[in-house]
Amino acid sequence: MRAASPLRPWEDARASWALPVVAAGVAASLLGAAAGLGESAQRSAAFALGPAVLLVTLHARTAGYLHDDGLAATLPLPIPPARRFAAAGRRHALGLAWQGAWAALAFGLSGRSVAASTILVADLAVLVAMAALVEPLAAAAAAWLGRRVPAESLAGQLQRSLGGGWTLPEAVVHLWAPAAGLALAAALAMPGQLAIDRWAEGGALRAGHLEVCAAAVALALVGRVLAPRIYAGGLFDAVPWLRQAMRTLAGPPVPAAAPRWLPLFRDPALRLLVLQHQRLTPVPVLRLLMLLGAAAFLAARAQAPGLAELGILVGLVALWLVPASALTRHAADQRRLLGPLPLRDARSRAWACLLAPVALAVAPVLARIGGGP
Amino acid sequence: MTALPLQVRGVQKRYAARVILAGVDLEVGPGELVVLRGPNGTGKSTLLGCVCGQIVPDEGTIAIAGSDLRAAPMEARRALRALAQEVEVPPGITGREWLAFCADVFGAPAPGGTGDPQLDEVLDQLATTYSVGLRRRLAFLGLCVGTPRLFVLDEPFAGVDVDGRRAMLERLGADLRAGAGALIAAHDHELGELASLGPRVVDVRTLSPT
**Percent of residues, chain A, with pLDDT higher than 90:** 36
Question: How far does B178 lie from chain A, in Å, by closest CA?
Answer: 21
Q: What is the per-residue pLDDT for A182? A: 94
Q: What is the per-residue pLDDT for A4? A: 41
Residue A157 clears pLDDT 70, i.e. is over it: yes
Question: Given an 8 Å threshold on Cβ–Cβ distance, is A6 in contact with B53?
Answer: no
Structural domain tally of chain B?
1
Q: Sign of torsion, CA B191 B195 B196 B200?
A: positive
Answer whether residue B133 is part of any domain: yes
Q: What is the per-residue pLDDT for B110? A: 80
Stretch A66-81: mean pLDDT = 87
Cβ partners under 8 Å of residue A168, min gap 6: A241, A244, A245, A248, A249
Task: Tell me which of B80, B105, B124, B151 to substitute to probe the interface with A (most A C-beta atoms closer than 10 Å).
Answer: B105
B96-151, pLDDT tens digit by residue? 888 888 888 888 888 877 888 888 888 888 887 888 889 999 999 989 999 999 99
* Burial bucket for residue A45 (CB in 10 Å: 0-12, 13-18, 19+): buried
Residue A162 clears pLDDT 50, i.e. is over it: yes
Q: Which domain holds residue B112?
A: 6-207
Question: Given an 8 Å threshold on Cβ–Cβ distance, is A76 in contact with B78?
Answer: no
Confidence of residue A166 (pLDDT cuts 50, 70, 90): low
Answer whether residue B62 is part of any domain: yes
Of residues A173 and B148, more confidence is placed in: B148
Q: What is the per-residue pLDDT for A10? A: 44
Question: How far does A118 lie from chain B, in Å, by closest CA?
Answer: 42
For chain A, give every domain's residue range.
4-248, 263-370
Distances in Å between the Cα of B109 and the Cα atoms of A239, B113, B144 are: 30, 12, 12
Residue A308 clears pLDDT 80, i.e. is over it: no
Residues of chain B with pLDDT under 70: 1, 91, 209-210
Lowest mean pLDDT among A160-169, A247-256, A309-318: A247-256
Residue of B nearest to A235 (CA): B73
Q: What is the per-residue pLDDT for B48? A: 93
Residue A15 clears pLDDT 60, i.e. is over it: no
Answer whether residue B75 is part of any domain: yes
> In whole angstroms, what separates CA A7 from the centre of its chain?
22
Angstrom distance (rounded) from CA A350 to CA A273: 7
Segment of A140-144, A153-157, B13-17 carrying the highest mean pLDDT: A140-144
Task: Tell me which of A1, A68, A329 to substitute to probe the interface with B (most B C-beta atoms closer than 10 Å).
Answer: A1
Tell me how crowded residue A225 is: count the other CB atoms within 10 A of its CB: 11
Question: Given an 8 Å threshold on Cβ–Cβ distance, is A236 in contact with B110?
Answer: no
Segment of A211-215, A269-273, B12-16 carrying the highest mean pLDDT: A211-215
Q: Please tell me which of the candidates B56, B78, B97 has its beta carbon nearest to residue A1.
A: B97
Residue A253 clears pLDDT 80, i.e. is over it: no
Phi-psi region of B92 (alpha: psi -120 to 50; beta: other; left: phi over 0): left
Answer whether residue B125 is part of any domain: yes
Q: What is the per-residue pLDDT for A282? A: 79
Residue A331 clears pLDDT 70, i.e. is over it: yes
Residue of B nearest to A242 (CA): B55
Q: What is the per-residue pLDDT for A218? A: 96
Answer whether residue B35 is part of any domain: yes
Angstrom distance (rounded) from CA A307 to CA A19: 17
Question: Given an 8 Å threshold on Cβ–Cβ distance, is B105 in contact with A248?
Answer: no
Question: Given an 8 Å threshold on Cβ–Cβ distance, is A78 in contact with B80?
Answer: yes
Q: What is the per-residue pLDDT for A197? A: 87
Residue A341 clears pLDDT 80, i.e. is over it: no
Question: Given an 8 Å threshold on Cβ–Cβ distance, is A240 in contact with B53?
Answer: yes
Residue A6 clears pLDDT 50, i.e. is over it: no
**Percent of residues, chain A, with pLDDT higher than 70:** 89
What CATH number corresponds to the domain at position B66? 3.40.50.300
Confidence of residue A5 (pLDDT cuts 50, 70, 90): very low
Answer whether residue B171 is part of any domain: yes
Question: How far does A77 lie from chain B, in Å, by closest CA?
Answer: 6
Q: What is the per-residue pLDDT for A3? A: 39
Segment of A162-171, A262-271, B61-70, B98-107 carrying the highest mean pLDDT: B61-70
Residues in chain A with CB shorter than 8 Å from the CB of B132 are none
Q: What is the per-residue pLDDT for A204? A: 81
